[in-house]
Chain A
Amino acid sequence: MRHKWVKGLAVLTIAGLIATGCSSKSNEPNGAGNTPAKGDPTKLVISTWGFSADFFNKEVYAPFEKEHNVKIVVEDGNNADRLNKVKTGGSSVDLIYLSDYYAQQGIEAGLFEKIDRSRIPNLNDIYDVAKAPLGEDYGPAYTIGQLGIAYNSKEVGKELTSWKDLWSPELAGKITLPNITSTSGPMILDAASIAAGNATFNEDQAMAKLKELNPSVVKYYSKTSEFVNMYSQGEIVAGPIMEMYVKDLKEAVPDTKFLAPKEGGYAIMNTVNIVKGSKNKELAEDFINWHLSKEIQEKSAKAKIDSPVNTTLNLTAEEAEGITYGAETINKLHMLDMKNVNANLKNWIDRFSREVTQ
């Protein structure tokens, strides 16, 4: 046969496509092998983003596994995918980490167990705003980050101070904004309302103000990595981003500055909740308590992985560099009402697509 090899190549190609297209998403932290031999360890399934996996495996999961004779299994992915997985049922997830906005969706869909606050004593040590951001029944925020503006001070050539500066001519054609569908999208809508001079949220003026800014926007980003890429390749010189990621920007552009706008940045809270039907509710509560403990909060703050919510730790100025830290900073942050966001989001996305980006 003359073209047997063509078929062979085609098969190879298809196999290659499959191999590159699909990769397993589940991974198990190491350190589970040395659990003490007091019966089979209980399995605790944690659904989380999967960033800084090495840190979490070593500092957070491994000590907990040892103490409670538990084997922690991690399922990672982005907010939406993981929430959908739990929503469609049949998952064995015990604990789920979500940003506040997705957690609110989960609450409205009735996916979470009510937590027993008396079993989580470390709640007493965290900021009031983090204790029950989505209601007393549901999980706390274990970290509060800040959304502000990062910019390349050399390219911009002037000091930025306010959300309004996004509209300044120096930035024309060189910025990115979060997509309205991303967690920080509604915050930008609120910031636009402030920039238009409103004390309370004015949807129409916010949309009009964003439309004015649209020609300046290179691309609306959905993932922080997109921001980092555009920024390091010089496609953009400024844009709203979480403070935690500024260290990645500084690596590429040393002249990067982070601005907490004078009108106040926005609080981005990541919460942890127990999934309804979990057979390990108490264990999950113990784990939440462990994650809020001074020890873990301090370690993850020093490793610059998560900004702390525990108020009992003291960081030096150097240790606090690049993370959102201190009661003064936290108190200045705007908090969006997630119930309101969820109720209006579909309408906002519609208006944003039709009125702003056209």
Chain B
Amino acid sequence: MKKSYLTLLLLPGLVFLAAFMVIPILLTVGSTFYHEGRFTVEGYLYFFKDPYFLKILWTTLRVSLVTTAICMLLGFPTAYFISQQSPRKKALLLALAIFPLLTSSVVRSFSWTIILGKKGLLNNMLLSVGLIQEPLNILYTPTAMMIGLIHLFLPLIIITLVGVMENIDTDLVKAAESLGANRFAAFCRVVIPLSVPGLIIGGILVFVGSLTAYTTPALLGGKQQVISTFLYQNAITLNDWYLASVVATIMMVITFVIIMIMNMLANKLNPKG
């Protein structure tokens, strides 16, 4: 079979993506520059001059970045441990790691309200052992949002990292050790650098997921809005689809910028690059 025929196989997928993703996104972005019959950037100026919106944006970025960082820190050792197991154990452990993804985020967020509440599990425990005198105020704060998001997205980074780590040739570690590196040095100078691509891809997944998450912030966050709940308010309650599209475009641009930055970092850190 000729190669040119093979590219035809791409066609159904491409048509689908074009019709249901590329064109709608272009239309959304396009509509933000054309309002009430003329070209305009007013929508963007409106938002970026508005301290209230900037505060929402900042909270969202902060929550997403912290969530990503903590997911990386927690996910890395877990993934390394899993990747070192026998195939059977690995399958079992991965299934366990992924298990939370199989329940809906609504259910998970509700469970957290029971754990984190003023009369919740956590506060009751801390109060009864005398660590605190007054119940901690966690639920309905950005911290609660982060906890929910970490629970939601940790499996994503674990899956990606395990995929990358098990492809690291164990001979490389052995070689490093035979050349005088201790286990820790071998881990730091061989395993970590080679895992960077997985860390970056996982990080991007977590970051984008946190940035766009709606259910978890809506249920666990308090008075502080994030960008997705703000978008929902504009679109559904105010019925202002123009401003909602502007917010959506801003979200997309932020996502792309962050992905680019992470890729650049990855290229710098990757020993092959």
Contacts and interface: CB of A to CB of B under 8 A. Distances in A.
Interface of A: 2-3, 5-6, 9-10, 12-13, 16-17, 20-21, 80-81, 84, 105, 181, 214, 217-220, 229, 233-235, 345-346, 349, 353-354, 357-358
B223 A219 contact: yes
Interface of B: 52, 87, 90-91, 94-95, 98, 101-104, 110, 113-114, 117-120, 139-140, 155, 159, 162-163, 166-167, 222-223, 225, 233, 236-240
Contacts of A214: 223
Nearest to A80: B236
A235 B102 contact: no
Given A16-B102, A220-B223, A235-B118, A6 B94 contact: yes
A353 B222 contact: no
B120 A233 contact: yes
A220 B223 CA distance: 7
A80 B238 CA distance: 9
Contacts of B119: 233-235
Interface SS majority for chain B: helix
A47 to B, nearest CB: 16
B98 A233 contact: no
B236 A3 contact: no
Nearest to B52: A354
Nearest to B56: A353
B108 to A, nearest CB: 10
Nearest to B118: A235
B71 to A, nearest CB: 16
Nearest to A109: B239
Contacts of A349: 233, 237-238
Contact of A81 (B104, B159, B222, B236): B236
Interface SS majority for chain A: helix
Contacts of A81: 236
Q: Which 10 A-B pairs have the closest CB atoms?
A: A20-B104, A181-B237, A234-B119, A16-B102, A80-B236, A219-B140, A219-B222, A233-B117, A354-B52, A357-B223
Given A3-B163, A6-B162, A219-B223, A235 B117 contact: yes
Contact of B98 (A13, A84, A357): A13
A223 to B, nearest CB: 10
B163 A6 contact: yes
Contacts of A13: 98, 101-102, 155, 159
B117 A234 contact: yes
B238 A346 contact: yes
Contact of B223 (A10, A181, A217): A217
B239 A105 contact: yes
Given A9-B98, A229-B113, 8 more contacts: A12-B98, A13-B98, A13-B159, A20-B102, A81-B236, A234-B119, A353-B52, A358-B52
Nearest to B139: A235
Contacts of A235: 117-119, 139-140
Nearest to A23: B104
Contacts of B118: 233-235
Contact of A9 (B94, B223, B239, B240): B94
B233 A16 contact: no
A142 to B, nearest CB: 24
B140 A9 contact: no
Given A219-B223, A233-B119, A17 B236 contact: no
A1 to B, nearest CB: 11
A9 B114 contact: no
20 contacts: A2-B167, A3-B167, A5-B90, A5-B91, A6-B159, A13-B159, A80-B236, A81-B236, A84-B236, A218-B222, A220-B223, A233-B113, A233-B119, A234-B117, A235-B139, A235-B140, A346-B240, A349-B233, A353-B225, A358-B52
Nearest to B215: A21
Contacts of A6: 94, 159, 162-163, 166
Contacts of B94: 5-6, 9
A357 B113 CA distance: 22
Given A13-B159, A219-B222, A346-B238, A181 B233 contact: yes
A12 B99 CA distance: 11
Contacts of B166: 2-3, 6
A137 B210 CA distance: 47
